[in-house]
């Protein structure tokens, strides 16, 4: 495998994933500079996620029409432009708009990066390649808060965004030199009605859930937006069944392996979305730590994620996707449940050890689920599959934060007291139970599913063809 390809894609995706959370610890400083409150400024977090939700569905069509390598470099350029405008913003409106532009770039970066990998990687190398590409999605959200806190404390919040410029330029240069050409393919005209409905559905759900969990607006606005998004989603399903070439082809779910993989992944990502929200808050409000201290503790999970890269291919080849994914889901749920027993008296070494194990389990799960999703997807469906998977990922991550926040708010309302450690314990227990449900789809999956990718059972593998 040409390792430079997934590494280039991984660096670009890390930049995008980290930037989605890096401003969380810098919100007070940015808010003071713009003359608004920190809660109000959280609209910038929401605008970024909404942009992702709107433009991800169209990313696959654009990659097919204009070439995946071209769109990937354009995505980095758009992301860089949004970063510069964030640093130059002098008002709330300008900052929110700049974050939206960043989200447009990020929306193209993630699914198109996966598409490049799918079309340039041999089946037998897909697990190793996906292990590299999974790392940014796990490390980015964990590294964002401590990096943002460090830059804001010792430099200026502007550098949170300006640092993306040299990284982005390097990414464009390396992509130009090392990424193989992925030529355009013949595509029908874009499904504009499908784009409008899918954009309204995904952005309505993501915006609504985000507003309910980060109440910069009245909760009624979040409930209304979520309801509107769900209604648009139903209309899209009706539209997609009638349109000959829908923007997001629901026919992909007829593929049992793809359906099981995205269903289990969506369920498990609720915990993945909730944990980065709950853990720093618990360490700060329940343990009395500073944002930077809590960020240093939670970052240990990134080490567990990195170690997976060195083991994934051999483990999946030895026992297969089904067994590994069931084990990873169970142990991932167990390590999430362990957070419900942390107290200020718990040794930090024990906390960090469990977070390390949690990062390891989640990385194994997402490496496997990402490779399994595309194991039986043909080349003609690859762009649709990457777009569909990315949309569901964004919705499930937003749902994780919303579920966690709803549990905290409901617990405090029922008990009639301020947010306390017991409320976080309850939230972790519930989220762990939800993530355990990810095991259920795998129980009906054949033991040899995806063996042409994992190599489990000695299944013959093609030596020279890219993923089809």
CB 10 within 8 A of CB 132: yes
Together in a domain, 130 and 270:
no
Please say which residue of 121, 155, 190 terminates a domain: 190
| Domain carrying residue 413 | 248-456
Q: What is the pLDDT of residue 463?
A: 37
Asked, for residue 200, whether it belongs to a domain, the answer is no
In the beta sheet, which residues pair with residue 466? 122
Tokens of 435: 């993530």
Q: pLDDT (tens digit, 9 = 90+) per residue, 387-431?
A: 888 888 877 877 787 788 778 878 887 877 777 888 899 999 999
Residue 147 lies in a domain: yes
On whether residue 265 sits in a domain, the answer given is: yes
- Predicted structure pTM score: 0.76
DSSP, residue by residue, 70-124: HHHHHHHHHHHHHHHHHHH--SHHHHHHHHHHHHHHHHHHHHHHHHHHHHHSBGG
Indicate if the pLDDT at residue 48 is higher than 90: no
Q: Are 181 and 260 contained in the same domain?
A: no
Within this chain, do residues 52 and 154 fall inside the same structural domain, yes or no? yes
- Kindly report, residue by residue over 73-98, the tens digit of the pLDDT: 999 999 999 999 999 998 888 998 99
Total domains, the chain: 2
- Residue 304 sits in a domain whose CATH number is 1.20.1250.20
* Whether residue 98 sits in one domain with residue 15: yes
Is residue 233 in a domain?
no
Strands (E), 348-401: none
Q: What is the mean pLDDT of the chain?
A: 82
Task: Check residue 467 and give its pLDDT.
Answer: 36
Confidence of residue 29 (pLDDT cuts 50, 70, 90): confident
Q: How far is the C-alpha of 183 from the C-alpha of 173, rounded, in Å?
A: 19
Looking at residue 288, its pLDDT comes to 84
Position 66 confidence tier, pLDDT thresholds 50, 70, 90? confident
Residue 89 placed within a domain:
yes
Domain boundary among 169, 190, 211: 190
Nearest one of 365, 227, 241 to 304, comparing CA atoms? 365
């Amino acid at each position: 495998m040409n390792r430079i390809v997934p590494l280039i894609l991984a660096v670009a995706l890390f930049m995008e994933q980290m930037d989605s959370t890096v401003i969380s610890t810098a919100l007070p400083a940015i808010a003071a500079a713009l003359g608004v409150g920190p809660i109000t400024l959280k609209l910038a977090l929401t605008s970024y996620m909404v942009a992702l939700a709107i433009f991800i569905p169209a990313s696959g069509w654009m990659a097919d029409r204009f070439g995946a390598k071209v769109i990937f470099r354009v995505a980095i350029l758009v992301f860089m432009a949004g970063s510069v405008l964030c640093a130059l913003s002098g008002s709330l409106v300008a900052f929110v708009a700049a974050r939206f532009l960043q989200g447009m770039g990020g929306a193209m970066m993630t699914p198109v990066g996966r598409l490049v990998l799918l079309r340039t990687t041999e089946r037998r190398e897909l697990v190793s390649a996906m292990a590299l590409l999974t790392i940014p999605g796990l490390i980015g959200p964990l590294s964002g808060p401590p990096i943002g806190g460090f830059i804001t404390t010792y430099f200026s919040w502007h550098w949170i965004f300006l640092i993306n410029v040299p990284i982005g330029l390097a990414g464009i240069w390396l992509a130009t030199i090392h990424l193989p050409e992925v030529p355009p393919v013949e595509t029908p005209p874009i499904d504009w009605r499908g784009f409008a409905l899918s954009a309204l559905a995904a952005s309505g759900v993501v915006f609504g859930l985000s507003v309910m969990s980060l109440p910069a607006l009245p909760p009624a606005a979040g409930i209304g937006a979520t309801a509107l998004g769900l209604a648009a989603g139903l209309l899209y399903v009706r539209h997609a069944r009638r349109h000959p070439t829908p923007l997001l082809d629901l026919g992909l779910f007829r593929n049992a392996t793809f359906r099981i993989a995205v269903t289990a992944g969506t369920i498990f990502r609720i915990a993945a979305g909730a944990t980065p929200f709950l853990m720093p808050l618990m360490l700060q409000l329940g343990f009395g730590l500073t944002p930077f201290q809590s960020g240093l503790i939670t970052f240990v999970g990134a080490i567990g994620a990195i170690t997976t890269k060195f083991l994934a291919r051999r483990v999946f080849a030895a026992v297969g996707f089904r067994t590994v994914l069931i084990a990873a889901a169970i142990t991932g749920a167990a390590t999430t449940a362990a957070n419900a027993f942390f107290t200020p008296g718990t040794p930090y070494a024990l906390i960090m050890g469990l977070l390390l194990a949690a990062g390891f389990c989640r990385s194994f799960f997402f490496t496997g689920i990402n490779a399994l999703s595309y194991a039986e997807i043909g080349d003609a469906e690859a762009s649709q599959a990457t777009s569909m998977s990315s949309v569901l990922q964004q919705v499930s991550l937003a749902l994780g934060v919303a579920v966690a926040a709803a549990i905290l708010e409901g617990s405090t309302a029922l008990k009639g007291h301020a947010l306390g450690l017991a409320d976080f314990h309850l939230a972790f227990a519930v989220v762990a139970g939800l993530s355990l449900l990810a095991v259920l789809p795998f129980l009906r999956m054949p033991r040899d599913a995806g063996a042409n990718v994992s190599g489990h059972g000695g299944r013959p593998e093609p030596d020279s063809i890219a993923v089809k």
